A = this chain, B = another copy of it.
């Protein structure tokens, strides 16, 4: 995606989704963009994942929860005339940096800066490829992080997605300070789905040593779950076929 008039004194901004983590699941566009920029910015963990491509490139690495400061700095650097890539894990547009960056452009009255958003393989897709094919039918992606969303809104969404028989991909199922929400989700979905509904739990999908568990709605919260885990809850048609979790698309064999 490229927009903006690209004033001749301004650098271009790239927001880059680097995929799940392993280099081979990064797109060619993401792998080539580092050569086109003066500066690379991002959360330290993600910078480390792409370090092999950066050589002696100027890097601005920041800590967690500094997203707004990071975006403001990116805009300042572009306004000063340098091209800069802002790194996001997974897809830059799914709970990623793309939206915040555009809000920062608006704040700085800098919407004419040239911007390219480079999509990547998101965590839901990476986790599902390890489970088999759980997302073959309509699905909902829901984050349980209540830092920026009222818990009541999240609860309402979980209930409605359960009622609608959506396959559900749950991001941020737990954190240090947030342990009980996933148990609430289990109970809420049990109001609509069979206890034997398959549930997939994937930790660090396609980032080093992925851990994959296929279990049931009745029991899945007994498995290890943390903030690096994606939980995929099947719909009423999802089946376990051998080592795979599959939601049939409807084809009759």
Report how many residues on chain A are interfacial, defined by Cβ distance under 8 Å: 83
Tell me the bound Cα distance from A101 to B120 in angstroms: 24
Q: Which of B24, B92, B135 contacts A27 (CB 8 A)?
A: B24
7 nearest A-B residue pairs (beta carbon): A148-B250, A99-B133, A111-B242, A99-B136, A98-B133, A160-B164, A119-B129
**Across-interface contacts of A32 in B (CB, < 8 A):** 24
Interchain CB contact under 8 A, B111 and A25:
no
- Interchain CB contact under 8 A, B157 and A93: no
Q: Which of A's residues lie within 8 Å of B, judged by CB?
A: 1, 3-4, 17, 19-20, 23-29, 31-32, 67-68, 91-96, 98-107, 111, 117-122, 125-126, 128-143, 147-149, 153-154, 156-157, 160-161, 163-166, 206, 241-244, 246-251, 253
Question: Chain A: interface secondary structure?
Answer: mixed
Q: Is the CB of B102 within 8 A of A133?
A: yes
In whole Å, how far is A74's beta carbon from the nearest beta carbon of chain B?
14
Residue in B28, B118, B248 whose CB lies within 8 Å of A129: B118
- Cα A242 to Cα B1 with chains together (Å): 14
Closest to A68 in B: B251
Q: In the complex, what's the smallest C-beta–C-beta distance from A65 to chain B, in angstroms? A: 10
Distance, CA A142 to CA B151, complexed state (A): 24
Query: Given the complex of chains A and B, what is the CA–CA distance between A206 and B118 in angstroms?
Result: 10
Q: Are A243 and B119 in contact (CB under 8 A)?
A: no
Instruction: Determine how close the nearest CB of chain B comes to the CB of A248; give it in whole angstroms.
Output: 6
CB distance from A158 to the nearest CB of B (A): 9
With a cutoff of 8 Å between Cβ atoms, the chain B residues found around residue A3 in the complex are 242-244
Kindly provide the distance from the CB of A46 to the nearest chain B CB, expressed in whole angstroms: 17
Q: Whole-angstrom distance from the CB of A119 to the nearest CB of chain B? A: 4
State how many angstroms separate the Cβ of A181 from the closest Cβ of chain B.
14
Chain B residues lying within 8 Å of A103, measured Cβ to Cβ, are 241, 246, 248, 251, 253
Chain B residues contacting A1 (CB-CB under 8 Å) are 129-132
Assess whether A134 is in contact with B93, with CB atoms less than 8 Å apart.
yes
Residues of B within 8 A of A102 (CB): 132-133, 241-242, 244, 246
Instruction: List residues of chain B with CB within 8 A of the CB of A95.
Output: 136-137, 249
| A19 touching B27, Cβ below 8 Å | yes
